Amino acid sequence: MDQTKPLTLCLAPWVHTYLSPQTERRMCCASREPAQSFAQYIDTASGTGEYRPLTLEQHWNSDHMCSVRQRMLAGETLPECAVCNDKLLNTDVYRTYFDHLFGSKYNQVLASTDSTGATTMQPVSWDYRFSNLCNFKCRMCGDMLSSAWESEQRTNNMIDWADPKNNWMRPEIKEQITKFQDSQIEQEFSLAVEEHRVEEVYWVGGEPLMYEQHWRYMKRIIELGDGAKVYARYNTNLSRCSYRGVDLFSDILDHIRDYQICASLDGTGPIGEYIRTGLEFDHWLENFRRAVAHRRSSRQVRIDFTLTLPGLFEVGRIVQLAQEYDTEILAKVIFSFSPDIILSPLALPRELLDRTINRLVVDLAPGALQDVLLELIKRPTFEQQWPEEYAAGLVRGKQRILQLEAVRQDALTLADILSADPEIKEWYEQIIT
């Protein structure tokens, strides 16, 4: 008989491996851990700024990973898993996803893990981000996950070279990262493909459909006869659906067990194009219609909606779009671990936030989007969480917004979007930079 699985245990440390475009290793993309070399946006401690990459072998049964497994098996609630524990991103947490796909492996987890937390299991689920290559500059993103962002930062002298986390952009370190990706990382993933060890793969970026590796490895998985066991998940801006004559739908997705396309869209029309610089909404809609027409079930294509402050004004339109195409909404809220993330709804004062959410949820059917909105009412606002830093944080955040609007020569500004609600616009205008 199976032993009862602790509620806080996640299968990820036994089945999944994550690698950032800067080759930082983590349990998953949502885990909160200390940086190794260069701090990512949700890391709990800064890295050294020196490039010290780890191979998968070095990482997999490292002291840290062994400690994670020990604590999970003991039923502890891990601080590394705060995003799931506290539903900081969405209400349908990542832990549930791994349990759904790999819950049947729990007995194997018990049998393969020794008293130190080391396991003989090997990863079968992969989130390898081969670079930050991306053609969009989404305002809640940044240079680590977008080459377009990185280029903009360089061109406009916006990089703080005194901050060690930015050392990955120095030419000599970029060269080292590229070399490690091209040799070690390609070898790790290629070996897993050739040894038939890939059961699930998360293609995310950057923009994964710009990765040459996506097309090459997915074709190889199919050639090896492993398509029938592979589940592929995509988080894509849907700006392209083919590469060098290879079609995503007929040449790739038709030949694997199952898939899910999470098509990123944080607003429609001009507001969507403001939030996601690079988006051409009409082109996105054309590709989305093609994806919907090709799907075998409604869950294979979803709208990936990250709720932002300007996105609050697009909730109704996103819902209407989802209803028109019989599509689910994967809803989450922008990450915010400091009070200067002014694009977060949590930057609003409590009264304004609650009033806005209560107005929106009246017209929403039960589901992920309603859950995410209602969860915001339970969470502390920036003012409640950082009372001493809140005012200064808003100033820094607005300065950043205005700087980007000037650099990108935006015809539509955040102030324009917020003018749909006079009280919110007044709050924004009273932030003096």
Tokens at residue 214, please? 């996506």
77 in any annotated domain: no
pLDDT score recorded for residue 2: 53
Note the pLDDT tens digit of each residue in 121-149.
Answer: 999 999 999 999 999 999 999 999 999 99
190 in any annotated domain: yes
Amino acid in the structure at residue 423: E
pLDDT score recorded for residue 1: 37
pLDDT tens for the chain, residues 1 to 433: 357 899 999 999 999 999 999 999 999 999 999 999 999 888 998 888 999 999 999 999 999 999 999 999 999 999 999 999 998 888 889 999 999 999 999 999 999 999 999 999 999 999 999 999 999 999 999 999 999 999 999 999 999 999 999 999 999 999 999 999 999 999 999 999 999 999 999 999 999 999 999 999 999 999 999 999 999 999 999 999 999 999 999 999 999 999 999 999 999 999 999 999 999 999 999 999 999 999 999 999 999 999 999 999 999 999 999 999 999 999 999 989 899 999 999 999 999 999 999 999 998 999 999 999 999 999 999 999 999 999 999 999 999 999 999 999 999 999 999 999 999 999 999 999 8
Helices 422-429 and 350-361: crossing angle in degrees, nearest 10, is 150
pLDDT score recorded for residue 88: 84
Give the total number of structural domains in the chain: 1
Closest CA to 263 of 292, 242, 236: 236
75 in any annotated domain: no
Note the pLDDT tens digit of each residue in 109-118.
Answer: 999 999 999 9
pLDDT score recorded for residue 351: 97
Are 342 and 305 contacting, i.e. CB atoms less than 8 angstroms apart?
A: no
CA dist 14 and 319 (Å) reads 37
397 in any annotated domain: yes
91 in any annotated domain: no
Q: How far apart are the first and last CA of the chain?
A: 63
40 in any annotated domain: no
167 in any annotated domain: yes
pLDDT score recorded for residue 311: 98
CATH number at residue 218: 3.20.20
Instruction: Give SS3 for 247.
Output: strand
Mean pLDDT estimate for the chain: 96
Beta bridge partners of 195: none
What does 313-335 look like in DSSP terms, one character per residue? GGHHHHHHHHHHTT-EEEEEE--
Write out the residue range of the structural domain in which residue 181 sits: 126-429
22 in any annotated domain: no
Beta bridge partners of 242: 247
Residue 146 to residues 36, 175, 210, 251, 407: CA-CA distances in angstroms? 20, 17, 12, 27, 17
pLDDT score recorded for residue 433: 85
Residue 391 to residues 49, 52, 394, 417: CA-CA distances in angstroms? 30, 37, 5, 22
Which residues are within 8 A (CB) of 289 and not within 5 positions of it... i.e. 6 or more apart?
325
Which residues are within 8 A (CB) of 249 and not within 5 positions of it... i.e. 6 or more apart?
241, 290, 291, 294
Beta bridge partners of 309: none
